[in-house]
Every structure is written in C-alpha cells, then in structure tokens.
Amino acid sequence: MYDPRFNYLITIKRGSKEVTDNGWSTLNSKNNLFLRFSSDNGYTWQPQIKVYDEIESKVGSGRYPSCATFSYNGKLAVAFAGSLVNEASGSWLGQITGIWDEQGDIGIVHSPKCIANGTAYDWGVSDAVVHGYISSSSELCLIAADIITPTPGSFTDNGNIGIRKSIELGEPETWIPDAWKSDLFYPVDNIDYRPNEIIGLRQKSLEANSPLYLGVFGNFKVTPDYEKAKPGFSISTDNGDTWQPFVIMDSDLLNNYTISLGLEKDSSAFLYDSKDFTVLSNGDVYFVLHFREINADKLTSEEINQIVEVKYTAQNQSWSISKIADITGLWLNVVDENLSPIGSPTDIELQIAKTTDESKLFVKWVDLLDITWVDADHYQFRTSDIFYSGKNLAAGTGWSTPHNLTSSDEYDRQTKIAPIVPQDLTDIPILKLQTILNPNNNETPGTQEYLTAMRQYLRPQEVQIGHFDAVLGINDHDQTITARTEINRIYPNPAQNSTTLEYSIKGLTNIDIALYDLMGNKLINIFSGMQSDGVYSYNVNTKDLLSGTYYISIKYGNNAVSKIINIVK
C-alpha cells in the first residue's frame, strides 16, 4: 500500500525458508511476518523489519498478513493482522493484531476466537482487514474484522462478520455488530460454504477519524427476494465501534443490465472470484466486479464475460452498472511439482485504485491471450498478461480502452497494485510473484520447461516489481457508435416525496436529465455529464412538487427520450 502523507510504499509478507532449509533463521522463516518500506516508490527498499516471530510469541505460525497505515502522533505507524496455524496438525489458531511505529516499537495481541453472544466463532483463515488510530483520550486503538464461522458449522449462522478491538495492546474485545449478522444474508445449503466475503476496508479520506467503509460481496437478503450475490457497504463514523446497516446494490440493476446486453434477465451473475472497491471523499463508492453470462444452452466460449463498474453515488443515493472491459473470464491455473492442479491463488486479479487527488480511477486485471478451444470444456492459451483501464473523473470521461501492460510470453500472476496511486498515473509500482527459474533445467524463454516452471506455485518464488505510466484519453471509446438511451422505469409512479429513475445507455454520450412540467418548464436538474455503456439509477426528490403530471426527459445529442411521472400528495 501507499501512504501519500508520509510518502512510503509498504508491503507485509511472510519469510521464505522452512526450518529444515539451509540458511534458515528467524530473519527468513516462512512462519514469521515482515514489513518492507520504500521511500522512492519501490525503486529501493529498506531492510525488512520482523514484526511477528513464532518462537517468541509461542502462539502459532504466521500466515496471510494484511496491513494499514495511520498517523501516530504525527509519525507513520502500521497496524497489521494475520492468521496463525499449527502446520503439523493443520489446525488454525486464531489471529493476531499488531502495530509497528517509526520509533521501532512493535506489539502484538492474540485473539484465539471471536466470542460473541456466548458463542465461540473461528476467525477466518485469510483476508482480515485492520485499522489503527489514536483515540480522543490519546490511547492506541487497533481494530480488525474478518469473517467468522461457528466451530461445528451452520446453515443459518455461517454469514457473520466479527470484529475485535484492542486498546493499548490489551486483551481484545470481540463482538458481532448488529449490522453484520448472518441473518441479513440468505442461508447457505452447505455448511462448508458461507453467503458472503469481505472485499476490504477503506477510509473515506486520510484525515484522522475519517469514516470507515467495509465492502462486502454476498447474498444479501432484499425485498422482493433476489438470491444472487451483490455488493454492499457498511459505514462506521466512530472508528469501528458501531456500524450502520449495509447499503446494498439495487437488485433490479443486474437484471436490467443483463437485458441491455440482449440477454435473458436471469442469465447472469457477479462472480465471487475477484473483486475490489474504493471510496472517494465525497462518499461515492466504486466496486469492480466480474460479470458473467450463465446460459446452459451456450458453450462456455460463447458466454459474455465483462469487468464492470458498480457505482454508488452518495449525493442522490443511487446505483449504476457500466462496462469497463470485455474479458475471456479465464485465468492461469497453477500446479504442484507433479504438475497436478492445486487450489489456485490466481484469478482475474481485479483491483481498483484512486489517485492521490481523487481525479482519476485506475483498474488492473489479468487475462489470458490467444485462446484456442480444443473442445467444449478444454482450451489452450499462449500467455497471461496484465491489463488496465482508467477513468478521468475530473474530465468526466468514461473508462479508457483496455491497455495491455506487459505483452510478453511470461505468465503474469499474483499481481498487486496499491489502493492509492500517483496523482498523474506515472511511475505506478506493481508487484507480482514469479517462479525462480533454473537455467540448468532448460527453463529459458521459448521452451516448454520455461512455461511449466512459471505455473509451479510450490517451487521457490520471488517478488518482482515494475513501474509504468498509464496511458489514458487515447481512443477511449469508439465515437462512431451511435449512442442510444432508454428509460427503463420510474418507480414508484405515482410518487409522493421521491422516485427513482432507471435508464440504460449504449455507447458514449453527453446527457442532460431533468424533470419538467407539461408546459416544458424545467423544474429539477437531475444529472448532466458524460456516461458510457451501462444501467444507471437516480433518486429524484419530489417533495416540493404539487400533485399533478410531469415528465422526466433524457437529452443526448439531437435526441431525447421522456416518460410521464404523476405526483400524488
């Protein structure tokens, strides 16, 4: 991650060596956790700092770390979290929360279980989110949240999200916020599954005590019932002590977006594989998700796969879906030393970042190239590359044409960018993992041995870093496509104090949306600006209108579409 307040790029990682390896020490043990810092955007790195030692702690081997920065009396501090395992028995031992500060102080606390309402829940194995801050009484506070599961499993209690808080590195307090309880999600039909996943934890801004946003993707209960996974977020305005109910994407949006592509409304879903989100200081929330057509009558190769933006606009509390890019929907599968497939840590590796001034958004993903389908279920490919697209919020443009960043025969996998990137989108650092190749085994470019080695995930790996300048604004959209706009619905209609407008756009166009009386007088400006392919919704405040008949009009170019709305008071 990158913290522009202190100009540090920061990573947290495990060590690399087994206890039985030659040269093992506590400074490279795979069971210990380490921070790395760079003050020049990743070109050079300071010596690693050990922040967790399994031998000293005596509570387990460190796994799956995560971190977040904060200001500790004006100095950089890093809060971190991680899971613990007893590798010999294969049992998970809870999680740790910790802190490192610029004075060199390090402290950790262990939470074996999340105890809530008299029940002991197991902390999730990975993906804990963490936050640190200094309270109004000058106390160091660390909070961490993660999915939790009752030890015997459950059909109805598998969807809770737990939180823990430690003050001055004291014994953590654990609980389940009312807004995060399992009964807010549809039950699972297999106790090995859960109905949700945490996407991440973001601050609205870098200011102290800025609101926290927890992004979750899951099968939220909605009315009317709609049992498909959808994104949502919960907000805390008191550094995580209390949380507001989830704001959930309008379920009709997915159906209407699917229809806008010429598909049957129920023939699609957002996938659980890869997702991310970011929050702007104005409260707008942007999710990026994998949209997939699901049609048993089609071959997999014929189904539509897209990366889409799902946006929540805070000003009018509305949601929209718009396309970022078409993709194959396929990814590189890794293998063990016997070339057998293993649980893959890879997928499309979708991430979104904002620039330091929030003028631009940047999305990164990985896709396969030159797909050849051998039969309905098997395919071959040439390579996997990193792609990106950008959006200039200040200029009001749509997403730029996808750009292939790497364009090489080297397989790109397990790639990472920071949630905040340089303001001008230049010199963006990106990390990735790669197998350490052995030329003595003929593992050189152009050989089958080279291709095989790059997929062998259990071999020694190295972290590589690269830097690039993002190109935006060139051929952003095909301007020869004639834009079309259609009003899907206005609901409720008749309306009283508010109504929601939902409409679809094909192509890229500058639009003006307003509400008029029957004499053509403009009464309410709803939106003006550039929009691209997608389905959009806006909440319209009608409380000041008298009972009567009005119409909402969307003007684009020399065209307009309108629909009547009745107000009844």
CATH of the domain at 8: 2.115.10
Do 435 and 499 fall into the same domain? no
Q: Tokens 């210990």 label which residue?
A: 32
Distance in angstroms (rounded) separating the CA atoms of residues 310 and 370: 29
Q: Band the pLDDT of 482: cuts 50, 70, 90.
A: low
pLDDT (0 to 100) of residue 222: 94
DSSP state of 314: T
Could you list the residue range(s) of the whole structural domain that residue 268 is in?
249-476
pLDDT (0 to 100) of residue 476: 45
Which of 244, 267, 302 corresponds to the end of one domain? Answer: 244
Average pLDDT taken over every residue of the chain:
93
Distance in angstroms (rounded) separating the CA atoms of residues 569 and 25: 75
pTM here is 0.91
Find the mean pLDDT for residues 430-436. 94
Do 467 and 518 fall into the same domain? no
Which residues lie below 8 Å from residue 455, measured CB to CB, with a gap of 6+? 332, 333, 334, 335, 411, 435
Distance in angstroms (rounded) separating the CA atoms of residues 68 and 77: 9
Predicted confidence (pLDDT) per residue in 238-282, tens digit: 999 999 999 999 988 999 999 989 999 899 999 999 999 999 999
DSSP alpha helix (H) spans, 332-412: none
Is residue 29 packed enough to be buried (19+ CB in 10 Å), middle (13-18) or exposed (0-12)? buried
Q: Band the pLDDT of 479: cuts 50, 70, 90.
A: very low
Compute how many other C-beta atoms are within 10 angstroms of the C-beta atom of residue 516.
Answer: 15
User: Taking a C-beta distance cutoff of 8 angstroms, is the pair 81, 88 a contact?
Assistant: no
Which of 445, 476, 507 corresponds to the end of one domain? Answer: 476
Do 492 and 374 fall into the same domain? no
User: Taking a C-beta distance cutoff of 8 angstroms, is the pair 540, 516 a contact?
Assistant: no
Q: Band the pLDDT of 371: cuts 50, 70, 90.
A: very high
Among 48-62, 272-286, 344-358, 463-477, whose mean pLDDT is lowest? Answer: 463-477
Do 158 and 307 fall into the same domain? no
pLDDT (0 to 100) of residue 474: 44
Distance in angstroms (rounded) separating the CA atoms of residues 163 and 131: 11
Do 406 and 495 fall into the same domain? no
Q: Is the pLDDT of residue 473 over 70?
A: no
pLDDT (0 to 100) of residue 478: 45
Q: Tokens 């050189």 label which residue?
A: 444
User: Taking a C-beta distance cutoff of 8 angstroms, is the pair 323, 534 a contact?
Assistant: yes
Do 40 and 167 fall into the same domain? yes
Do 216 and 293 fall into the same domain? no
For residue 502, give the CATH number of its domain: 2.60.40.2550
* Torsion on CA atoms 319, 322, 326, 331, rounded to nearest 10: -20
Distance in angstroms (rounded) separating the CA atoms of residues 35 and 48: 6
Do 177 and 278 fall into the same domain? no
Do 426 and 342 fall into the same domain? yes
pLDDT (0 to 100) of residue 480: 41
Which of left, alpha, beta for 427 (phi over 0: left; psi -120 to 50: alpha)?
A: left
Task: Of 31-35, 72-76, 375-379, 487-491, give the range with the top mean pLDDT.
Answer: 31-35
Do 436 and 351 fall into the same domain? yes
Q: Band the pLDDT of 530: cuts 50, 70, 90.
A: confident
CA distances (Å), 435 to each of 387, 412, 459, 462, in order?
A: 21, 11, 7, 6
Count the domains in the chain. 3
Task: Of 283-292, 419-428, 520-529, give the range with the top mean pLDDT.
Answer: 283-292
Which of 447, 476, 505 corresponds to the end of one domain? Answer: 476
Do 278 and 180 fall into the same domain? no
Do 208 and 254 fall into the same domain? no
